[in-house]
Amino acid sequence: MPAKHDATPDPPLNQERPAQGHQDFLREMVQQDLASGRIDNVVTRFPPEPNGYLHIGHAKSICLNFGIAREFGGRCNLRMDDTNPTKEDVEYVDSIIADVRWLIAGWADECLGLKPVGASPEKRDLGGHTDYYLPSMMAADSSGQALEPLYASDYFEPLYEYALELIRGGRAFVCDHSPEEVDLMRGAPDRPGQESAYRNRPVEESLDLFRRMRAGEFPDGAHTLRARIDMGNPNVWLRDPVLYRIRHASHHHTSDEWCIYPMYDFAHCLEDYIEGITHSICTLEFEVHRPLYDWILEALDLPRPLPRQREFARLNVTYTVMSKRKLLQLVQEGHVRGWDDPRMPTVSGMRRRGYPAQAIRAFCERIGVAKRENMVELSLLEHFVRDELNRRAPRAMAVLRPLRLVIENYPEGQTEEFETVNNPEDASMGTRRVPFSRELYIEQDDFREVPPPKYHRLSPGVEVRLRSAYLITCTDVVKDPQTGDVTEVRATYDPATRGGDAPDGRKVKSTIHWVSASHAVDAEVRLYDTLFTAENPDDVAEGRDFTATLNPGSLETLQGCKLEPSLGTAVPGATYQFERLGYFCADTEDSVAGAPVFNRTVRLKDAWAKIQKRQGTGRR
RNA sequence: UGGGGCGUAGCCAAGUGGUAAGGCAACGGGUUUUGGUCCCGUCAUUCCGGAGGUUCGAAUCCUUCCGCCCCAGCCA
């Protein structure tokens, strides 16, 4: 009876080292702020808009924000930045929560900042100022309360109050211009804009109009609330930007309570402030928004320390696209089977494919964080996936493209078992038994009737080792009379080599894997290649889009693969190394006991494939 | 060419005036019952985007030039 592998979908984590060595510019800033006394604790935040699934680029941001919180003993708030009801959906908030939790599990889960379900900012008096404050809580501090992520939409009331305050201070006004007019009047980067005709309307009038906007008296687009800054500023984001717009739309979290919604620039800095965020880390494209971020906070005369925005370069990875718009397009146009298709760079896709969270984290740590534009090679990510799985994944034998092998001198009907190690990297993972018999399957790639140069595997007259079993020598082949294809290989075994070692010390050049034909479990195996054939799918000819470089061979589904018996009951999500082939993960959607479905997570490195490539032969 | 950023190896990335870390990739070798893992070695010989300058000394400071990215949503 073959022993079952002791594989779990997400086994205990390896210890990861805390901050050491060099510091990036963000950690340096945090350190200085701590040293100077500007702040005495660190609170970061990860603020996705729930309008798509998280991807590897978000993973970088998560590792950064949670990593900093973790290193400085602070926390990182998970916040839904949901200020645009027309684009957001609860499906996305659910997936975001699951993805974040999975990614930080066992590493920074104690830094995850949440809030009690239903909590909203507390209005209080602080030194004569009205203040809104919603501190996050960590799960450990919740004393049993149910927690949920923070939502920007829970701050709509305070945000509205802050907007009123801006109007009273003459720093904002209600504008009646149409979107088209506002466009025309914005000017150009090298040409000043033109002031709104409503810019100097009385404060009371703006106040009244803004209240009526909220009350729903006007249709979409009839009015906006605008900051009163400077239409001549060379930074176009300071040219009286829109702060609020009217949107008669139902919101996934506040339903129909509001018909005016704050714009990102107005909302985000105040969301950060309300939560007591100390460092607001975002991507480079927001750098030009920073003066506006600071302007709004400073215009409000707020009693607590202000958050600081700093920007880093977003991640790009070769052979993939990263924008939510494009990922959504891949899903909607059916180029993939869903957001969690194992070919997708989404967190859920990578999880389903079998990428361990710690591999993704190790990758994010290794790529570092800086401000220069970058395109990281996929091979680096794959390196960390292999590195993690090599230590963790139990080995097993599986034949993907079966070729029948008959051991002519092995008694018909006889069966024996060999004990073999589950992981040569980790003796504690134990051993298992694999059954052997006269008829086996070997990999088609492991036999060549006429071996090319440097081919070490089986061919007529050549002796190889069947892993953990016997040395065998190929004696003959059987061919299909029609096609001439080899349909069966005949061989003899040396009974003295039981276990795989020859008593006379003779060596063989190759060890190949095998599965006993009568004991084999049939399986479907899905082989993945990059979704795109171009390193940069966005780099296509004029008039074409990134889908032009879609890889037609990104998914190859193999039926009738032959697995060793212990794999028949693989737990969905469990990852194995199929020896000599790669790492494979039992699919969490489609795999069932007795009819397993495996995804190839990543290939093993393959020196022979390189040789073949040089020779101009070989399989994709 | 208004404003804001960024240029260190094929790809990331340290370096913050004292003589160019590290990882991936690539290449060569050793070990090996996985052509895997592991180990050893090679990989920026005053070319750190270019040119000048300051200095005993410059990737680091100054000047100038070049290149790339971002910004004119009532998206985030």
Q: A94-146: per-residue pLDDT in tens? A: 999 999 999 999 999 999 999 999 999 999 999 999 999 999 999 888 888 99
Please report the beta strands in A368-409, taking only residues with DSSP state E, as ranges in sequence order.
395-396, 398-399, 402-407
Q: Which residues are paired to A576 by β-bridges?
A: A584
pLDDT-above-70 percentage for chain A: 96
ipTM given for this complex: 0.97
Q: Is the pLDDT of residue A15 over 80?
A: no
User: What pLDDT sits at residue A618?
Assistant: 61
Give nearest nucleotide to A287 (CA–C1').
Answer: B4
The answer on pLDDT for A2 being more than 50 is: no
pLDDT at A19 over 50: no
**Active-site annotation holder among A27, A49, A75, A228:** A49
As ranges, strand B nucleotides with an atom below 7 A of a protein CB are 1-8, 10-16, 21-27, 33-38, 68-76
Report pLDDT for A619: 57
What pLDDT was estimated at residue A3?
Answer: 37
Q: How far apart are CA A487 and CA A414, in angstroms?
A: 23
- Kindly report, residue by residue over A219-246, the tens digit of the pLDDT: 999 999 999 999 999 999 999 999 999 9
A324 is a catalytic site residue: yes
- Statement: residue A443 has pLDDT above 70: yes
Query: Model confidence at A543, in pLDDT bands (50, 70, 90)?
Result: confident
pLDDT tens for A254-265 read 999 999 999 999
Say how far A614 CA is from B6 C1', in Å.
38
CB A163 within 8 A of CB A139: no
**Structure token pair of residue A208:** 């009244």
Name the average pLDDT for chain A.
94
Does the pLDDT of residue A9 top 70, yes or no? Answer: no
**Mean pLDDT computed over A165-193:** 97
List the beta bridge partners of residue A283.
A312
Closest CA-bearing residue to C1' of B24: A380
A474's enclosing H/E stretch is strand A471-479
Predicted pLDDT at A617: 67
CA A269/CA A520 separation, integer angstroms: 60
Closest nucleotide (C1' vs CA) to A282 is B76
In this predicted model, which residue has the larger pLDDT, A116 or A18? A116
Task: Round to whole Å and give the CA distance between A292 and A282.
Answer: 14
| A49 has catalytic annotation | yes
DSSP annotation of A294 reads H
The percentage of chain A sitting over the pLDDT mark of 90, rounded to a whole number, equals 92
Distances (CA, A) of A129 to A58, A156, A159: 36, 19, 15
User: Strand runs (DSSP E) across A397-437, as ranges?
Assistant: 398-399, 402-407, 415-421, 431-437
> What average pLDDT does the segment A394-420 reach?
98
β-pairing, A242-246 vs A260-262, is antiparallel
The number of residues in chain A equals 620
Which candidate, A274, A273, A272, A270, places its Cα nearest to that of A262?
A270
- Considering A4, A87, A314, A498, which one is annotated as catalytic? A314
At A17 the pLDDT is 33
Question: In this model, does residue A11 exceed pLDDT 60?
Answer: no
Region A478-484 average pLDDT? 97
Give A20's pLDDT tier (boundaries 50, 70, 90). very low
Pick from A476, A474, A448: which is nearest to A462 by CA? A474
Note the CA–C1' distance, A313 to B6, in angstroms: 10
Joined together, the tokens standing for residue A9 give 């979908």
Cβ-based neighbours of A181, under 8 Å, separated by 6 or more: none
CA of A19 to C1' of B49 (A): 33
Label residue A175 by pLDDT band (50, 70, 90).
very high
Give the residue-averaged pLDDT of A156-173.
Answer: 98
Q: What is the pLDDT of residue A487?
A: 98
Residue A418's pLDDT band (cuts 50, 70, 90): very high
Instruction: Name the nt closest to A500 by C-alpha to C1'.
Output: B33
Which alpha helices (H) appear in A300-452, and where do they start and end? 324-332, 347-353, 357-367, 378-392
Helix (H) or strand (E) holding A501, with range, is none
Q: Is the pLDDT of residue A6 over 80?
A: no
Contacts of residue A383, defined as CB under 8 A and 6 or more positions apart, other chains included, come to: none
Q: How far is the CA of A316 from the C1' of B23 (A)?
A: 17
- Closest listed residue to residue A521, CA positions, set A415, A603, A371, A399: A399
Residues A365, A359 contacting (CB under 8 angstroms): no
Residue A541 confidence (pLDDT): 81
